[in-house]
Structure 1
C-alpha cells in the first residue's frame, strides 16, 4: 500500500508536460503544448497539454486526464504503478510492501505478465553476476563485446543458465503461475514437460517506452547449428514485435533533445552506440521495420537517420524501410559503414568525436543515397537505368508534402540527368493510379457506410445535456470567482402602473449564484454523470476556498477525470487549428462570466418550462384529465416563459 502523503507528494511534484514529454514531442502553442496523438495514427496534432491546469486532452481519441491517467492509458499501468513510476522519475521515496502470494494471484492477466517479465529480468541479471556459469559464459561474452559493468546494468543484460528448467522451477517456487510463464513465452509447456525457452543464452530485456519489461531477446553462445542464433519472446498480450523499438526507453529524451533518431538493426548496435556517447539510437530488433515503429519515433522527432552494415544484405534491408518512413511524412537520411563493419564494431573502434564526425560527413539524403546505390547496379544498361529512375520517383510519391516532392524531383533530375518534365509526368501517373485505387476503396467503404447510416435514426441536439454540461464547465473554470450579478426584477412604474424589468446588482461567488438559482427553481440534473459531478464540485467549492482544478482532477476516478478534462480543454481545440493566425478570434468566456452564468441558467429554465408545457399538452389528450386545471397551469408557465425570455433577451443583448 502506498501512503496518502506519498501520493499527494507525487501529484504535487509531477508536471504533466514533463511526464508526457518523455513519450510525445510537444511544441509550445500559446500557454499550452500540442503534439501528435499517441493513441491514434495522425499527421496533424490533436493532442493538447495544459501546464496551467495540469491536464491533457487527446481530441482524436477522446481520452484525457492528468499525468497519472496518461501513464495508465499509454503504458497500461495500474494506478499504484503509475504513482511508483512518477515517484522514481522525481526521486520521491516511496514505501513498497512485497506482494503476497494471494495478491499475485489476484492481479489481472496483463499485470501478471508484466510481473513475470520483471521477475525474469531480475533473475537473469543475478545469474550473470552471481553464478559461476553466468560469469564464465555470459559476462565474459559481454566483456568481449566491450561492454562495461555500468552499461550491462543499465540495459539489464542477463544470462539464462544452460539447464532445461532452472528458470521455470525458480519462478514456480516464487509463486508465479505456470500459465503466465507460458503466455510470456519464457516457459515452453509440452504435455507433461516444461522447459526454459532461453536456456543457455545471454539475455536482452526489451522495454516499453516507460521502462516496463515487455519481452526478451536471447543470443545463443554455443555451436548448435540447429538452434537460431537469436530468439525473441513470442507475441503476447504485452509484447507485440511490430510496435516495439529496442532501446527507445533509454533513447527517448536524447531523441527529442537532438531532434534526430539513429535507426540500427541489432541490440548490440544500440548498446555500443550508447556506451560510446550517442544515445539517440534505437533498433527494430531484427524484424522488418513497421509503420507502428516509425510512429513511435515520429512522436519524438521528424528526423530519422538509418544506419546499416556495409554488406549488400544490410543495404537492401535499409532501402525497403525508407519508403515506409517517407509515407509517415518524416525526413530520412542514410549512412553506411565501410565494408565489413557494422554500427557495433565501428562504434567500438572509434571515439565519440570520431564517430560523430563520421556520421555527420557520411549521412546522405535518401535520394542521393538511393540514386548512387541503384546506379551502381544499372551501370550502362538503359533498361535498368529507367527502372532505377522509376523506383526513385515511386519513393518520392510516398512523401505527403507537395513542396518536398517537388524539391526531390528537381534533385533527382540533377543527379540522374533527366528532364524534370518527364519526372513530373511519371510522378503524376503514379499519383493518378494511387488516387484511382483510393477512390475505388472509398466508394466501396461509403456504400457500406451508407447502408449503416440509413439504418440509424437522425439524432437531435440534446439541449438539456448541453446546458447541464455548460453549468459544469462554468463551475470548473470560474466557480470560486466573485462577480457582480445583475438580476432583473419586475417593478411597477409609479406613473403608468406598468410592470417593467429593472436591474438589481449583487455580489456573489459564481458557484453560490448557480447553486441558489437551481435550488430556488428546484431544478435537477437529468444526466446522472453531471448530477454526481455537480454535487461533488459544489461540495468541494464549499470546503476548499482555494479550489484548484488540478487537485480536483487528481481525486477523480479515471472515467470522471476524462469527462472533466474534456470539458476543461474544449476551448483549446481552437489553438490546434491556429485560428488566431487566420484572424478568427474566439471570444474569451472571462470577458463576461456573470452574463454567461445568467444566460445559461435562464436558458435551462426556459427549456424546462417548454418541456413541462409539452407534458401538459399530452395530459390534455387523456380522457380522464382535468383539462381546465391543466390549461390554467399551462397559462401560468407560458407567462413565466415570457418573463424569462424577456430577461434572457436583455442578458444576451447586454454589452460585454
Structure 2
C-alpha cells in the first residue's frame, strides 16, 4: 500500500495537461484543452482536458477521469501501478507499508528473477546485433522472414549462439547467481552439476507481461546452425513469475490498440503477431501454440468484449477454432472466426498484404461463431441423421454456456433458422443444459462446503450418537449462472448486493439495506439519476454550509450538504440504492469534521480506485443540472443555491425510489412461492404498507397527489 501522504504528493505534482500531452496532441480552447481521444478512433476532437479541475473526459466515448485514471486506462495499469508511473515521472519516492519477512522474501525472489530475465534479453539482443553468428545466422533468418529492423528492435528479438553454455558463463561473470538462472529456466543443470543454456542456437522471442517486463522466452531452432535438435520451438518452463496459461504473447504491445479499436485478433504464434504488427495491425495477441485458457481470455476481456480468431485455412486450423469457442463464450465474449485462404497463416498472409487489404479481407470473411460452427458441422454431417443430431447437441451446448440470457435467446433463434428446427425444442434443450450445469455446480459447492465443515470440526467421540445430515448453505462468494426464466422476486427478497439471477436462498452479506429493486439495469430510472445528482452534491460541495438552524439552546448551527443529505435519508429510513454510493456517503459522514476536509479532494484522491473513478465522473459535467438565471439574467452557480437544490433533489429522489420500490414489492407479491406462503406474504405486505406511509407525507411536501391503494 502507498501511504496517503505520498499519494497526495504525487497528485499535487502531476499536472494533467503535462501527462496527457505525452500521449495526445492538445490545443487550447478557452480555459481548457482539446484533442483527439486516445481511447477510440475519431476525426473530430472530443477529448477535453481541464487543468483547473485536473480532469479529462471524452464527450464521445465517455472515458476520462483524473490524471491517475487516465494513466490506468491508457497504459492499462492498476491504480497503484499508475501512481508509481506518475511518481517515477515526477521523481517522487514511493513509500509503501512495511512488508512481512515472507512477503519481503517472495518480493525479493520475484524481482531477482525479473532482473535476470532483463539481463538475458539484453544479452540475446547484443548477440544478434554485435556477434558475427548473430549477424550471419540470426539476423539473416529474421530478414528472410521479411521483418524490418524497427520491428525486430520493437519486439526485442535476439539470438543465442550454438555454444551450449555461453549465456551461463557470461551471467556468472557478471555476478548473477546460478540459482536464479535455473529458476527462470534460462539454464538447467546436467547430471554432473554443470549449467547448460536452454536456448542455445536459437532465435529468441521475449515474452512480456502486461506492464512490459520480460517474463519468459521462446526460442526457434535454426536447422542451418543447429543439428540433431528435434523441437522446433523451446519455451521457458513455469516459474515463480511465469505461468504460461496466464500470459499472451504481444499483449504489452497490443493493449492500447485493442482498447482503441475495441477489438482483438487472436492468432497462434510469435511470428503471426510480429508480421501483423509490421503490416499495420497492432491489436493482435497470440496464445503461443498452447490451448487457450480462461485466464488468457479474461486478460483480453479487460480491454474488449470483441474477439476475432484467425487461424490457418487447413483442417487443423478449423478444429483449433472449434475447441476454443465455448471457453470464449463462457466468458461473455463476442466472437467471430476468420479462416485464411488455404496455404496461408496470419504470418504469411500479412507479408503479402498491407493493413488495409488485411482488414478488408477479415471484415469480408469473418463469420459469427453460430454460422461458422453450424456450416462447418453441417458439411461434415451430410445427410446422416446421427451426425446431424450430434451437430445440434454440440451447437446447443455452445449456446448454453453464454452467460447473458438475451444473447442466448438471439443465438437460439438464429440457430433455429439455420437448422430449420422449432425454436421451442432448442430452448428446452438449452434450458435443460443450464439447469444441469447449475445442479452440478450446486452439488460441487455443497460437497466442498461439507468437506470444509468436516475439516474444521474435530471428530466426535465414539459415544456420540450419529449426526443427522444437515443442509449446507451456499457461500456468498459463489454465483450460480442465471436461470433461463426468472421471476420478478424470489422467495426471499434480493438485497442490493445480491447479483441478478442469484438464487434468493443464497445468504448474502448486507449493510441492513433491503430492496426488491434489481441492482442492474436502472440507468434510465428517475431514482438512479436523482441518486447520482445527490452524490454529485456530496462530492462537489459536501463540506459546504448550505444553511443554518437553531439547536435546542436557540443557538445557530451550520448545516453542511453532507449532514443535510444524511439526516434527511435517515429520517425516512431510506438509503442510496447502490453499495458504492452508500460507501461514499458513509465515508463523507465519517470524515466531514476532519481538519482540512474537502470532499472533492478527498474522494478524487481516494486509494480505492472505484471511489476515485466515481468521484471523477461526478466532478465532471456528466451529471449537470439546468442553468439558472436570476431576474437580472446573471448566472447563479449551483453552490450559491445549495439551500434550494439539495432539498429539492432529496424529495425527488425519495419519491422516485419509494415509487420504484413499491412497484417491485407488488411484483414480488405476485410470485406464487410467496403468495402461497402466508407468513412471507404478510411480511412483504407489511413492507409495502410502510412504503406507503413514507410516500404520503413526501408527496404532500412535493405537492403531488397520491391515489391510495
Matching residue of 1:128: 128
Are 2:239 and 1:231 equivalent residues in the alignment? no
| Residue deviations 1:315-373 (CA, integer Å, cap 9, x gap) | 11121100000001111110111222111111111222321221111101111111121
Quick one: distance in 1 between partners of 2:81 and 2:373? Answer: 43
Give the unaligned 5+ runs of structure 1.
35-47, 57-65, 96-104, 463-473, 491-501, 512-529, 554-560, 581-587, 597-654
Q: By how many angstroms is 1:386 displaced?
A: 1.3
Q: Contact 1:251/1:282 (CA < 8 Å) preserved in 2? A: yes
Tell me how many residue pairs correspond in the alignment: 487
2:305 is matched with which residue? 302
2:203 is matched with 202
Task: Identify the residue that residue 279 of structure 2 maps to in structure 1.
Answer: 276
Distance in 1, matches of 2:86 and 2:145, equals: 36
Which residue is equivalent to 1:216? 217
Report the Cα distance in structure 1 between the residues aligned to 2:181 and 2:79, rounded to whole angstroms: 21
Which one of the candidate residues 335, 342, 345 is aligned to 2:345?
342
> Counterparts of 2:562 and 2:440 in 1: how far apart (Å)?
57
Of 249, 256, 261, which residue of structure 2 is paired with 1:258?
261
1:155 has 2:207 as partner: no
Q: 1:55 to 1:129 in 2, by over 3 A?
A: closer
Partner of 2:331: 328
The root-mean-square deviation of aligned C-alpha atoms, in Å, is 5.1
Structure-to-structure mapping, 1:484-563, within 5 angstroms: 486=549, 488=551, 490=553, 502-505=554-557, 538=595, 548-549=601-602, 553=605, 562=607
Question: Secondary structure of the equivalent of 1:134?
Answer: helix
1:23–1:252 contact (8 Å) kept in structure 2? no
Q: d(CA) in 2 for partners of 1:131 and 1:143?
A: 16
* Pair 1:168 & 2:171 matched: no
- Counterpart CA distance in 1 for 2:510 and 2:431 is 44
Residue 404 (structure 1) shift: 1.9
Q: Relative to structure 1, is the Cα distance of residues 570 and 304 closer, same or farther in structure 2, using a 3 angstrom cutoff?
A: closer
1:297: how far off? 1.1
Aligned to 2:29: none
Superposition map of 1:384-403 within 5 A:
384-403=387-406
1:101-116 to 2 correspondences below 5 Å: 108-116=108-116
SS of equivalent to 2:551:
strand
In 2, Cα distance between equivalents of 1:77 and 1:569: 15
Cα deviation, residue 480, structure 1: 6.9
User: What residue in structure 2 maps to residue 361 of structure 1?
Assistant: 364
Alpha-carbon distance in 1 for matches of 2:623, 2:349: 50
TM-fit CA distance, 1:572: 9.6
Kindly provide the CA deviation profile for residues 581-611 of structure 1, in whole angstroms up to 9, marking residues without a partner as x.
Answer: xxxxxxx9x9689x99xxxxxxxxxxxxxxx
Q: Cα 1:389–1:287, aligned 2, differ >3 Å: closer, same or farther?
A: same
Q: Deviations over 1:125-177 (max 9, x none)?
A: 11111111101111111101100001111111111121122112222222222
Contact 2:313 2:345 in 1 (8 A): yes
Residues 71, 82 of structure 1: 8 Å contact kept: no
1:476 and 1:537 in contact (8 A); partners too: no
Residues 251, 8 of structure 1: alpha-carbon distance in 2 compared, 3 angstrom cutoff: same
Deviation at 1:375, TM superposition (A): 2.1
Q: 2:56 & 2:178 partners in 1: Cα distance?
A: 45
Whole-Å separation in 1 of the counterparts to 2:538 and 2:403: 44
CA contact (8 A) 1:68 1:82 kept: no
Distance in structure 1 (CA, Å) of the matches to 2:510 and 2:357: 67
Q: Is the counterpart of residue 291 in structure 1 residue 354 in structure 2?
A: no
1:236 Cα deviation after fit: 1.6
Q: Which residue of 1 aligns with 2:65?
A: 51
Q: For the residues of structure 2 that align with 1:252 and 1:405, how far apart are their CA atoms? A: 29
TM-score by length of 2: 0.58
1:489–1:504 contact (8 Å) kept in structure 2: no
Residue 322 of structure 1 aligns to a residue whose secondary structure is helix
**C-alpha displacement at 1:9, in angstroms?**
4.7
Task: Give 1:198 deviation, angstroms.
Answer: 0.7
- Choose the corresponding residue for 2:433, options 430, 446, 462: 430
Deviation (angstroms), 1:425? 3.0
Task: Give the Å deviation of 1:123.
Answer: 1.4
Determine the C-alpha separation between the residues in 1 that align with 2:543 and 2:92.
Answer: 34
Per the TM alignment, residue 477 of structure 1 is displaced from its structure 2 partner at its CA by: 7.6
Q: Which of the pair has more CA radius of gyration?
A: 1
Distance across 2 between alignment mates of 1:93 and 1:488: 51
SS at match of 1:335: strand
Deviation, structure 1 residue 252: 1.1
Displacement, 1:436?
2.2
CA separation in 2, counterparts of 1:507 and 1:420?
62
Structure 2 residue ranges without an equivalent (≥5): 1-5, 25-36, 41-46, 48-52, 94-104, 457-471, 474-508, 513-536, 564-586, 625-638, 648-700, 703-709
The equivalent residue for 1:313 is 316
Q: Distance in 2 between matches of 1:110 and 1:350?
A: 42
Residues of 2 paired with 1:328 and 1:177: CA distance?
42
SS of equivalent to 1:108: helix
Contact 2:75–2:256 (8 Å) recurs in 1: no
Shift of 1:242: 0.7
Q: Residue by residue, what CA displacement relative to the aligned partner does 1:102-127 show, whole Å, maximum 9, x if unpaired?
A: xxx99811111111111211111111
Structure holding more helix per residue:
1
Contact 1:307 1:336 in 2 (8 A): yes
CA contact under 8 A between 1:185 and 1:234: conserved in structure 2? Answer: yes
Alignment of 1:376-387 (within 5 A): 376-387=379-390
Q: Determine the C-alpha separation between the residues in 1 that align with 2:178 and 2:319.
A: 42
Q: Structure 1 pair 390/579, CA: closer, same or farther in 2 (3 Å)?
A: farther
479-488 or 433-442, which deviates more: 479-488
